[in-house]
Structure 1
């Protein structure tokens, strides 16, 4: 998991659906990087992509939430903020 993946997963960890635009704004990174990260996290089973009827919306999976709740997960998700 890279820093971008960690930021994206940390933003999704509280639950609910967010659009790629919302995640990008919160993480301070481009939508393109968020999209690549969501694709990667979807392949690993940590994130659901295109949830419900919202195109470009995603949310954390139960597996991703379990990872985020572990000691290792909390350490990984304590990603540094984006550089300005």
Structure 2
């Protein structure tokens, strides 16, 4: 059995691929957006965001402002 198959045969949610990392499952925007904004606010080195689109609405503007703030802080 290959390493990836062994890993997926365990509980992938509660198993780290890399020591010290973790996975948090967030089911909808109500859970996801505050967690993402908090992670952006805490960034010290870089911010990697993968989103399919930003709307020009309250949520989109919050993300734009959070990313701008971190960029202005040198992140």
Q: TM-score, normalised by structure 2?
A: 0.30
Greater C-alpha radius of gyration: 2
Q: Structure with the greater relative contact order (CA < 8 A, sep ≥ 6): 1 or 2?
A: 1
